[in-house]
Structure 1
Amino acid sequence: MNRKKLQKLTDTLTKSCKHFNKYEVNCLITLFYNLVGDAAERSGAVVGLDRNAFRNILHVTFRMTDDMIMDRVFRGFDRDNDGCVNVSEWVQGLSLFLRGTLEEKMKYCFEVFDLNGDGFISKEEMFHMLKNSLLKQPSEEDPDEGIKDLVEITLKKMDQDHDGKLSYTDYENAVREETLLLEAFGPCLPDPKSQMEFEAQVFKDPHEFHDI
């Protein structure tokens, strides 16, 4: 990408991006095109990170291991649902992912956990996600029973209107009381250590981003 284009893109994204300054936006754009590679040069093609490339970044850089959650995070970034994260989705997504306010992170996590997009997190969705994210412990008991119990405990704690599912209001109130519940159904934000490492590396020199 030539300098003029990069400058323009940086300016546009800095304006619409709350949590990064111009230098940081520039570093993230540079990193994006490094990751996408030569595809960026072939104009006309959709330039972006597909699901696999994106999941690889989540896995290697942010130590995520849960396939279902990684898929949901990809959808959270891919705002136009075209199967690719483009450069503006990348910068906007990372702005929230790395530095979002509690308000922004709650909305994002709720969307990740609301698997069918109906505005509620149902018992089935909780069961599905918890079963996926908990390590399988070999034991005599039926592990599904333990997860069902966990769903009931979580509901008791978070379902304030007692309708057997979590609305955004239930979730928000519970998280404001206890922030640990933000990622109650699986890790969908970076842990502080990998976030610091990513920022230290990328904002120093995006060309030297070795981890991927």
Structure 2
Amino acid sequence: DGINLLIELLSPHTDADFFLITEEGELSTVCYRPEGLDSLVQQTNFSKKELQVLYRGFKNECPSGVVNEDTFKSIYSHFFPQGDSSMYAHFLFEAFDTHNNGLVSFEDFAVSLSIILRGSITDKLNWAFNLYDLNKDGCITREEMTDIMHSIYNMMGKHTYPSMRDSAPKEHVDSFFQKMDKNKDGVVTIEEFLETCQKDENIMHSMHLFDNVI
């Protein structure tokens, strides 16, 4: 359903991209300040060697050491050339930009990726909720979920799913709120989101899809 679709699109192709980086070898050539690396080992569920691999890949794509939203959108457009991924990339960028300064540093990237790939179920669900809560006010509205769903369908492209009805995004939003909005007040809180997701076997399976892919 719509919830599984949202979760599975959190980090498309992450496993393939970083396996390619890993296969290049020679990890000892990676340069990174030991203080920063040691700190990130404490903040994430990655080892030093894994962080070195990630850092080399990050610096190859972003030599300046930070990513702005335009660069993020450009990178993401390569994953989904069949559609318009700009709006979804915008929402995802805001979730990675934890300092709200318009830039994603390697530290920001590594911490979020650690949650998506190696975090506990609760950590992953909290991160997903933050992604869907576009104005970060602590609840998800129908308008926010509609914007998210439209961004996903735009990204996937019409010719990828030619039989998809124009009403599909609304149907996914309706399904999301029917399942999540327990007290029927028109918004989904983090408590409702966590409670419902943790009781749903399909959602729990989706949350494990990216475990230990690096």
TM-score (structure 1 length as normaliser): 0.68
Q: Does 1:12 align with 2:43?
A: no
Paired letter, 2:41? T
CA displacement 1:140-194 (0-9 Å, x = unmatched)? x8x34x5444433332221111212211111111111115447x9xxxx99649x
Which 4+ residue blocks in structure 1 deviate beyond 6 angstroms? Answer: 62-65
In the alignment, is the contact (CA less than 8 A) between 2:180 and 2:188 conserved in 1? yes
- Spell out the pairing of 1:149-188 with structure 2 (5 A cutoff): 149-178=171-200, 180-181=202-203
SS of 1:118's partner is coil
Paired letter, 1:11? D
Q: Give the 3 Å change call, closer, same or farther, for CA 22–128 of structure 1 in structure 2.
A: same
Q: Give the 3 Å change call, closer, same or farther, for CA 34–4 of structure 1 in structure 2.
A: closer
Count of residues paired in the alignment: 180
**Larger of the two Rg values belongs to structure:** 1
Aligned to 2:114: 95
Aligned to 2:140: 121
- Once the two structures are TM-superposed, the CA of residue 76 in structure 1 deviates from its matched residue by 1.5
Distance in 1 between the 2:70 and 2:51 partners?
A: 23
Q: Give the 3 Å change call, closer, same or farther, for CA 162–3 of structure 1 in structure 2.
A: closer
Paired letter, 1:16? Q
Q: Give the 3 Å change call, closer, same or farther, for CA 76–127 of structure 1 in structure 2.
A: closer
- Once the two structures are TM-superposed, the CA of residue 48 in structure 1 deviates from its matched residue by 0.6
Percent identical across equivalent pairs? 25
Q: Does 1:72 align with 2:91?
A: yes
Unaligned runs of 5+ in 2: 1-28
Coordinate RMSD, CA, aligned: 3.6
Segment of structure 1 superposing worse, 68-77 or 127-136? 127-136
Q: Give the 3 Å change call, closer, same or farther, for CA 4–58 of structure 1 in structure 2.
A: closer
- Once the two structures are TM-superposed, the CA of residue 110 in structure 1 deviates from its matched residue by 0.6
Paired letter, 1:33? K
In the alignment, is the contact (CA less than 8 A) between 1:120 and 1:168 conserved in 2? yes
Distance in 1 between the 2:31 and 2:145 partners?
A: 48
Q: Does 1:52 align with 2:70?
A: yes
Unaligned runs of 5+ in 1: 40-46, 200-212
Q: Give the 3 Å change call, closer, same or farther, for CA 110–65 of structure 1 in structure 2.
A: farther
Distance in 2 between the 1:58 and 1:179 partners?
A: 29
Paired letter, 1:178? D
